Structure 1
Amino acid sequence: MRELLKVIIFHYLLQGLAGDQLNIPHTNHLDEDFSKDGCLSYCLSEVKPIVIGLNQLKERDAINKLNEKIHNLENELEMYKLQLTHKENQVKARDSLLNEKDESIKAKNELLVAKDEQFQDYRAQIEEKNLELLKYKLQDIPHSSLYADGIHRMKVGNLPAFQVSYLSSSPDWIVIQRRIDGSVDFDRDWLDYKNGFGDIEGNFFIGLEKLHLLTQSRPHELYIQLRDVKGTAKYARYDDFHVSSENDNYKLNSIGKFSGTAGDSLVDHVGDMFTTRDQDHDTARFNCAKNKRGGWWYHDCLHSNLNAEYHDEGYDPNRDGISWGSWSGDWNYTISLTFTQMMIRPSLK
């Protein structure tokens, strides 16, 4: 009978009526307080060890499951560690690649800097050679070559083709004005100075309109040769000669930087409009061109005038001759030069 009762109770316990369902107290309650379906103290004494054993089995099972979860978590953690290590290796590889690229960029930058320095050195050498070439081309022209010995035709703007005089030794320089004697009168009206006049192989003026069109097309240099009655020759050179249009009365817009041996007697005329005996654009109370007997860029009145009256003796006590104030260093306007030649060419800038 006892064994049958154990089997029956065990059967129910296996059906889930264990521990928590039987509500077996784990305190010091009297055994008599426990009853289930008529189970008396005897039943309790027989069943209680079984229930306790089952509870222990259940706790061990829970512990086993917990251990399994811990094991699984440890495996997952190990997998994450492996993945993290793999990611770290990838990052290290990328960092290494970036470092290599940085080194490559640094090397290329250093190469570029070296190339730039080399380029600057080459450019400095080229500029030095250009200066040497410029000095060679713009050195004083020998006295034996003072007179232009070549003539060719050129076309500028809407003007008909016209003849220009040039030096065969340096054909890029064309003559725009020349005085060699008093055979051609330079005391002329506006229209003559606009269109040009004289003998292209001797005394002549190229014309203001041609000067304007030539110098507006591109920057030009101006080279002025001067000689006095004693045969002393000097020159003045300017690197940016530009003449405005007739709308601006052929104003001397710019001359640029000066160099030469004759001194600078043109700089004070920059900004002055051209004046002739019949068109007064100077700032004096009288017409400077009429007074000085030649058209020029007068103000009040002049520091230079290469179109004034010619004096064979190279001297004019009235100070109205061909003048370049700085010629003698003391601004002696009684000196009247006996040779002038103004030439221009496209600038080398």
Structure 2
Amino acid sequence: MKCKRYTLLIAFIWALNGVLEASAFSKIAVSSNTSPKRMKSPLHRRYLYNTGRQSWYIDDALINRLKEELRMEEINLQREKPKIAALEETNNNLKNEITKLRAQSATDDSTKLEACSENLRIETKKNQQLQDQLEKIPSEIMRVAEKIGDMAEQNVKASSCLVYIGNPGIYRIHVPGHMPHNVLCFDGKHEGKGWLMIQRQAFGNEDFQRDWNTYRDGFGSFDGDFFLGLHKIHHITHAHRQKLFIYMETFEDKWFAASYDNFRVGSEDSEFRLESLGAFSGFNEIHNDTFRYNEHMKFTTHDRDNGLWEVGNCATEHQSGGFWYKRCSYFNPNGKFSKTKGTSKQGIHWDEWDGLKTIHMLIRPLI
């Protein structure tokens, strides 16, 4: 744009210069009787006046000044030419780069399009596979349901709670020598999983001062306090080697436990003799193997005394509830339940911990 402006200005000045020289500095007649007018040339601001025959002359100074302006414009044009050439070169370079970028973009777009098409094909194949699998799910569910039904018909014949790990609750088990019966399967925070609960006192809704037949057959309910029954415990402990876990809590909410790795109870013919306890382990500050004192003893209730205490029946006169008393016991899970802390040996206790708040006894096959 600047170059165009200079070119037009030069052409105009050269044309004016020719006209002026051709007139040989002649007079310019002004024949009009009108008011003064401006000259149309933008190169000077003189006025021409019409005063009869009076006229004005364009002097040499004006021509020289115009020529000087023309010369300066030519100099400026020469100065601008390198810049114009550089701009043209830059413009050409930009055009070349744009051409390259367009070609590269076309190639990249083609490559990306091919990659997207391949990814789309892979995803479509995956979706089809998932769709096929989803279509098979109903039949698979039916197959599993039928299998579960078959297992239910066969009663699964579980003999412990290990098969129900992670799903505690009431289940029917099958133990050799005994009719199928329900048990409470238990998973505990401290005890672990897969346990079968044989005794619990935690709610105070059952009286554990029961007779021989009641301890033999069991009493209570799985949603409260209960004793599973000596006859069932006998068959379970003879079907597999069982680990015994005794969990206890104080009224200060402190827990502790003891375990034995070979808990085994005899039949009614032996008066449910405590045949074995196995190796002892204590948990959370329990160090005394307190239950060992009762090992090999027969079971005692208030109406059948099998203890060795010469003075009387431990189940009624010194302590309370049925248990494997010797000369009474340092441990009694079936003592009287209390809602407040006490020190009576007739309550639930383990060695020096009298008047326990809760207790439960668990067994499971030794793994």
Task: Give the TM interval when normalised to the shorter protein.
Answer: 0.5 to 0.7
Structure 1 Cα separation of the partners of residues 193 and 214 of structure 2: 26
Q: CA deviation at 1:307?
A: 0.3
**Equivalent residue, structure 2, for 1:264:** 289
**Equivalent residue, structure 1, for 2:61:** none
| Equivalent in 274, 281, 290 of residue 316 of structure 2 | 290
| Equivalent in 216, 222, 241 of residue 194 of structure 1 | 216
| Aligned residues of 1:175 and 1:344 also touching (Cα < 8 A) | yes
Aligned counterparts, 1:7-18, within 5 A: none
Matching residue's letter, 1:340:
I
**Equivalent residue, structure 2, for 1:339:** 358
Matching residue's letter, 1:215:
T
What is the Cα-based RMSD across aligned positions, in Å? 1.8
**Equivalent residue, structure 2, for 1:243:** 265
Q: CA deviation at 1:168?
A: 4.5
2:205 is equivalent to residue 179 of structure 1: no
Contiguous gaps of at least 5 residues in structure 2? 1-165
Aligned counterparts, 1:153-164, within 5 A: 153-164=172-183
Structure 1 Cα separation of the partners of residues 235 and 193 of structure 2: 19
Deviation >4 Å, runs of 4+: 168-171
| Equivalent in 270, 275, 280 of residue 305 of structure 2 | 280
| Aligned residues of 2:178 and 2:235 also touching (Cα < 8 A) | no
**Equivalent residue, structure 2, for 1:309:** 336
Matching residue's letter, 1:323:
H
Q: CA deviation at 1:160?
A: 2.5
| Aligned residues of 1:304 and 1:323 also touching (Cα < 8 A) | yes
Contiguous gaps of at least 5 residues in structure 1? 1-144, 326-330
SS in 2 for 1:310: coil
Residues 199-227 of structure 1 show CA distances to partners (whole Å, capped at 9, x for unaligned) of 11220001001111111112110011100
**Equivalent residue, structure 1, for 2:348:** 322
Residues 48-90 of structure 1 show CA distances to partners (whole Å, capped at 9, x for unaligned) of xxxxxxxxxxxxxxxxxxxxxxxxxxxxxxxxxxxxxxxxxxx
Structure 2 Cα separation of the partners of residues 205 and 267 of structure 1: 21
| Aligned residues of 1:153 and 1:164 also touching (Cα < 8 A) | yes
SS in 2 for 1:211: helix
| Aligned residues of 1:296 and 1:307 also touching (Cα < 8 A) | yes
Structure 2 Cα separation of the partners of residues 293 and 163 of structure 1: 27
Structure 2 Cα separation of the partners of residues 337 and 152 of structure 1: 29
**Equivalent residue, structure 1, for 2:114:** none
Residues 309-333 of structure 1 show CA distances to partners (whole Å, capped at 9, x for unaligned) of 11111213x32110100xxxxx35x
Instruction: Compute the TM-score of the two structures, normalised by the length of structure 2.
Output: 0.51
Aligned counterparts, 1:113-152, within 5 A: 149-152=168-171
Q: CA deviation at 1:171?
A: 5.1
SS in 2 for 1:266: helix
**Equivalent residue, structure 1, for 2:232:** 210
| Aligned residues of 1:165 and 1:201 also touching (Cα < 8 A) | no
Matching residue's letter, 1:321:
G
| Aligned residues of 2:187 and 2:195 also touching (Cα < 8 A) | no
**Equivalent residue, structure 2, for 1:10:** none
**Equivalent residue, structure 2, for 1:253:** 275
Q: CA deviation at 1:257?
A: 0.5
Structure 1 Cα separation of the partners of residues 292 and 187 of structure 2: 30
Structure 2 Cα separation of the partners of residues 219 and 153 of structure 1: 20
Q: State, as a whole percentage, how many aligned pairs show the same letter.
A: 34
Residues 95-128 of structure 1 show CA distances to partners (whole Å, capped at 9, x for unaligned) of xxxxxxxxxxxxxxxxxxxxxxxxxxxxxxxxxx
Q: CA deviation at 1:233?
A: 0.4
Matching residue's letter, 1:265:
T
| Count of aligned pairs | 194
Structure 2 Cα separation of the partners of residues 257 and 168 of structure 1: 23
| Aligned residues of 1:150 and 1:168 also touching (Cα < 8 A) | no
Q: CA deviation at 1:277?
A: 0.5
**Equivalent residue, structure 1, for 2:75:** none
| Aligned residues of 1:186 and 1:294 also touching (Cα < 8 A) | yes
SS in 1 for 2:290: coil
